[in-house]
Chain A
Amino acid sequence: MTGQTTGGIAGDTTDRAAGAADGPADAGPLLSVRDLSVEFDTRHGPVRAVRGVDLALRSGQCLAVVGESGSGKSVTARTLVGLAGRNATVRAAELGFEGADLRRNGEQQWRRLRGARIGFVLQDALSSLDPLRRVGDEIAEPLAVHGLLNRRERTARVVDLLTDVGVPEAALRARQYPHELSGGLRQRALIASAIAAGPPLLIADEPTTALDATVQAQVLDLLAARRDDGAAVLLISHDLTVVGRMADHIAVMYAGLVVEEGPAERLLNRPSHPYTVDLLAAAPSFDRAARPSRRTAGLVLAPPADGPGCPYSTRCALADSRCRAELPPLLPLPRKGPPPVDGAETGGTVRCWHAGEIPAGATRDDGAVAEAAPGPSPSEGQAEPLIDARELVKRFRSPDRTWRHAVDGVSFRLRPGEALGVVGESGSGKTTLAHLVTGMLAPDEGTVRLDGEAWSEATERERRPRRSRVQTVQQNPLESFDPRFSVERIVGEALGRPGRRAAAAERRRITELLHRVGLDGSVLQRRGAELSGGQRQRVAIARALAPEPEVIVCDEPVSALDVSVQAQILDLFASLRGDLGVALLFISHDLGVIREVCDRVLVMKDGKVVEEGDVARVFDAPRHPYTQALLAALTRTAALAGSSRAYVPARVALPGEPSGTELL
């Protein structure tokens, strides 16, 4: 399959890549980065996004970059294609690709690389397509830019590419405009565009966040096939399952630094840096409904340290005065402690004064931690439904002039304190359903009632006073921020005090909200475009919390968050439900997250609800073939990871629990 994809387009690429794959020891790395740092100049002083990153990647290999949200992963990736940004200052001791020194690149050399030699999937799938051009033209652009294929061939190729990335009705989709596509479709279009010219290096920044398990598996297969064909893949992901499945090597970033690096198996199973340990521990597991919990309301992650010391020292249980005073260098992993279980699990570097003290192959915690109640599970009929959606139908017109049902007869009820999950195929109408519930779209048929009163049928004027009761976290948070607004104003507006500068009281409240979602004051004055993907998502969540709503409609609220932050956010949702009786309509592709957060779940396909019921029931005993397929795909991914890469998300306990959290 991948052979077709690249064959004939960049033959020499494949050859060279294959050669590299044959003798990885002889050939130098395809990509080598040493001491890369990136600084942004903002109106409120410089932001040091990347502070000395080292990376190396060989053809035919996959390097995964994981790390804290906002740790500089995306910035690093953008820098590798020379697009750090207008206000960025980039420095590096070495920046080599295919033997050439990228530091000397002029705009022209960069251009020759981009798209042709380096394919790049940006994190912002939802706003990365030109809204005024057809999707097909966008996908074909690398081919056009680099003069590959003529116009007619390109059109045919676009359909192939879209099919490869799992887009049904590819020809039709190619003729649509981005705003007519669902998030997952846009993301796949973006991937198709990045691989169109068969580049020997593919950088994929969170490429599967908006994809359901089945499609995700398909896309990962595609990436794996590209890798097996000799292309190098730089994968940025917070999804450790994905990382575990794909990566040969993993680099862990924290606060602009690579804190640990090494072969995937070793790193996943025997993490050496306290942050890595924490990260792995926080991973949600589909198998277990609840993660080992720090589910205590008000517990949030401390921000990285500002000073000269180790940035993780603020959270680290092992931190001592040296950690706080002096930044540890990146050193080869000491071979202390008990010998590895198998020889492969060695190697790598770590940036920690205490690296040797971490017990290798730390204790696996097999569900020893008490399972926290998944929020109050209100029994049917006990409370009046807060949201009552009946037979909702929404149609859109497609380019072939036919009407298509995005939502087709969906009904559900949501009671106070309840969490209803919505899972389903990408493009199955989840976002549309969310829009119908929040009243941003009017249903073509059916009604939504809020607390017994007309909602979808009410006029906007009638809805407005009740708007604060229903809040939403949109799938594309960036789009939902006024480009002129700072974070302070964005959140401030939701407080009903939209002044340019908030009054002290408001500002305190805003800061508090941001803290709850794990952001510190440094983002207050930044605009949406200056935030990392995960930061945006959390700002959107903070905004949704601001008016103290009764219902929150969350459309992929944690898709861009690394697992540790994700855990914090999920805890937050749980406490909202438990303490305040907030109801959640929770859309996610991550079945683990759904399982953790929700009581009940709707499974959607083609606009219809194909299965509905208690989370446990549906996930443990799926009835509908689609649900079964979905779960099978998940299991397959996990199994793959488990077998070939020997990774099962592990719970690692550090000496001196509670691990890595501090009370704020």
Chain B
Amino acid sequence: MTAVTDTGSSGVAPSVAVPHRSGAARRVLRPGLLLASAYLLLVVLAAIHPDLFAAHPNATDPVNALQGPSGHHVFGTDQLGRDTFARVVHGARTSVAVGLGATALAFGVGAVWGLLASLGGRVLDELLMRIADIFLAMPGTLMALLVVAVLGPSGRNIAIAIAVSLSPGFARVTRVQTLVVKEAGYVRAATSLGVRRRSVIMRHVVPNVLPPLFVLATMNIGSCMIVGSSLSFLGLGPQPPSPEWGSMLSQAREYLQADWSLAVFPGIAITLTVICIGVVGREIQVRFEGRRP
């Protein structure tokens, strides 16, 4: 019975009662959303209070190095016999801070940047976009080096460094979307209602510009966590032995032949976080847009 096809057009049903489709769809969606929120909650908890889950992420035990998952070490141990589970849990703070922090910062800065460029007149536009070009042209690591050179190395500064190199991307997307949206009939309509410019921007322009930015942000969270690790590696952030997912993942590369689990667990942690943020984020976005999920 296909009263509704996926192509968006509707077939026709014989005179038979058709079950409520979206009700079913909603039921399908719910558990996913629940699981995702639950996982994120755990991650946040781990970031705030890792000792709730596991202690001693840095306790070495060289004799029991690179043991696969077992009853004693659920996720196994790493090259120094440290408990991978404890390290994944304790790694949440830095990773999430860098991933979310950098993305949020880049999102905010980039959105304002792009809005200013597209709404602020031609001179400002040229100026801001040339600056964005320069920023984009600088290799991300170089940029990060500069930022860290100025601010000094720390987790927060890593986030700032990454944000600085990401924000021009957000700015460009924002700008183009805004250029289209600001000519839309509803923006003109709002203007002609006498709505204040700032309100027009906040109520009509921004919300309609946001969706691609949301997507961009979601997909950036994961890459930020990874970039964060390579910056740590360059000595620009939290240093070993303090655990962090990205560097755990890159270190695991050396032990590829011996122990897969070393890469698997931090990898899963990153990916799950990103996907769950994606799921929850989409739900929020859909609600916000008043669209059907």
B9 within 8 A of A: yes
Q: Are A105 and B11 in contact (CB under 8 A)?
A: yes
User: Quick one: CB contact mask for A455-466 with B, threshold 8 Å, 1 for yes?
Assistant: 000001100111
Q: Are B292 and A471 in contact (CB under 8 A)?
A: no
A151 within 8 A of B: no
- Complex Cα–Cα for A43 and B289 (A): 13
Q: A92-B14, A103-B14, A464-B196 are in contact. Are A493 and B190 (CB under 8 A)?
A: yes
A480 within 8 A of B: yes
Q: Are A79 and B10 in contact (CB under 8 A)?
A: yes
A102 within 8 A of B: yes
B199 within 8 A of A: yes
User: Quick one: CB contact mask for A30-66 with B, threshold 8 Å, 1 for yes?
Assistant: 0000010000010100100000000000000000000
B28 within 8 A of A: no
Q: Are B208 and A482 in contact (CB under 8 A)?
A: yes
User: Quick one: CB contact mask for B190-208 with A, threshold 8 Å, 1 for yes?
Assistant: 1111111101000110011
Q: Are B22 and A41 in contact (CB under 8 A)?
A: yes
| A-binding residues in B (CB < 8 A) | 3-5, 7-16, 18, 20-22, 184-186, 188-197, 199, 203-204, 207-208, 289-292
- Complex Cα–Cα for A470 and B191 (A): 11
26 contacts between A and B (CB under 8 A): A79-B10, A83-B10, A84-B9, A85-B10, A87-B22, A88-B10, A89-B4, A89-B10, A89-B13, A89-B18, A89-B21, A91-B13, A92-B13, A95-B12, A103-B11, A103-B14, A464-B197, A465-B194, A467-B191, A468-B193, A468-B194, A470-B192, A480-B185, A493-B190, A493-B195, A498-B199
- Chain B nearest Cβ from A544, distance in angstroms: 9
User: Quick one: CB contact mask for A464-506 with B, threshold 8 Å, 1 for yes?
Assistant: 1111101110101001111111100000011000100000000
A76-115 contacts to B, CB under 8 A, are: 79, 82-93, 95, 102-103, 105-107, 110
A415 within 8 A of B: no
Q: Are B197 and A105 in contact (CB under 8 A)?
A: no
- Chain A nearest Cβ from B99, distance in angstroms: 28
Contacts of B291 in A (CB 8 A): 484
For the complex, count residues of A whose C-beta is within 8 A of B: 53
Q: Are B194 and A482 in contact (CB under 8 A)?
A: no
A527 within 8 A of B: yes
Task: Report which residue of A46, A466, A480, A486 has the largest number of chain B beta carbons within 10 angstroms of its beta carbon.
Answer: A480
- Since A86-B9, A464-B196 are in contact, a sample of 5 more A-B pairs with Cβ atoms closer than 8 Å, ordered by chain A residue number, is A82-B12, A89-B21, A90-B12, A110-B11, A543-B193
Q: Are B192 and A483 in contact (CB under 8 A)?
A: no
Q: Are A91 and B290 in contact (CB under 8 A)?
A: no
- Complex Cα–Cα for A474 and B184 (A): 13
Q: Are B203 and A498 in contact (CB under 8 A)?
A: yes
- Complex Cα–Cα for A193 and B5 (A): 25
Q: A41-B20, A439-B192, A480-B188 are in contact. Are A107 and B5 (CB under 8 A)?
A: yes
Contacts of B5 in A (CB 8 A): 107
Q: Are B290 and A90 in contact (CB under 8 A)?
A: no
- Complex Cα–Cα for A90 and B188 (A): 37
- Chain A nearest Cβ from B80, distance in angstroms: 53
Contacts of A106 in B (CB 8 A): 11
A440 within 8 A of B: yes
Q: Are A84 and B193 in contact (CB under 8 A)?
A: no
Q: Are A90 and B13 in contact (CB under 8 A)?
A: yes
Q: Are A486 and B15 in contact (CB under 8 A)?
A: no
Contacts of B208 in A (CB 8 A): 482-484
* CB closest chain-B residue, reference A80: B12
- Chain B nearest Cβ from A315, distance in angstroms: 30
Q: Are A494 and B22 in contact (CB under 8 A)?
A: no
A432 within 8 A of B: no
Contacts of A480 in B (CB 8 A): 185-186, 188-189
Contacts of A494 in B (CB 8 A): 193
* CB closest chain-B residue, reference A41: B22
Q: A83-B9, A88-B4, A92-B15 are in contact. Are A484 and B191 (CB under 8 A)?
A: no
Q: Are B12 and A43 in contact (CB under 8 A)?
A: no
- Complex Cα–Cα for A472 and B194 (A): 11
A13 within 8 A of B: no
Q: A467-B193, A471-B192, A484-B208 are in contact. Are A43 and B9 (CB under 8 A)?
A: no
Contacts of A5 in B (CB 8 A): none
**A91: contacting residue among B16, B192, B195, CB under 8 A:** B16
- Chain A nearest Cβ from B279, distance in angstroms: 20
- Chain B nearest Cβ from A122, distance in angstroms: 14
- Complex Cα–Cα for A46 and B17 (A): 14
Contacts of A464 in B (CB 8 A): 194, 196-197
A376 within 8 A of B: no
In the A-B complex, the 9 residue pairs with the closest CB atoms: A467-B194, A479-B185, A480-B189, A84-B10, A482-B186, A103-B12, A90-B12, A480-B185, A89-B18
Task: Report which residue of B10, B191, B204 has the largest number of chain A beta carbons within 10 angstroms of its beta carbon.
Answer: B10
A438 within 8 A of B: yes
* CB closest chain-B residue, reference A114: B9
A547 within 8 A of B: yes
Contacts of A461 in B (CB 8 A): 197
Q: A468-B194, A484-B290 are in contact. Are A82 and B15 (CB under 8 A)?
A: no
Q: Are A493 and B193 in contact (CB under 8 A)?
A: yes
- Complex Cα–Cα for A438 and B188 (A): 10
Q: A89-B21, A468-B193, A486-B290 are in contact. Are A476 and B13 (CB under 8 A)?
A: no
Contacts of A84 in B (CB 8 A): 9-10
Contacts of A90 in B (CB 8 A): 3, 10-13
Contacts of B199 in A (CB 8 A): 498
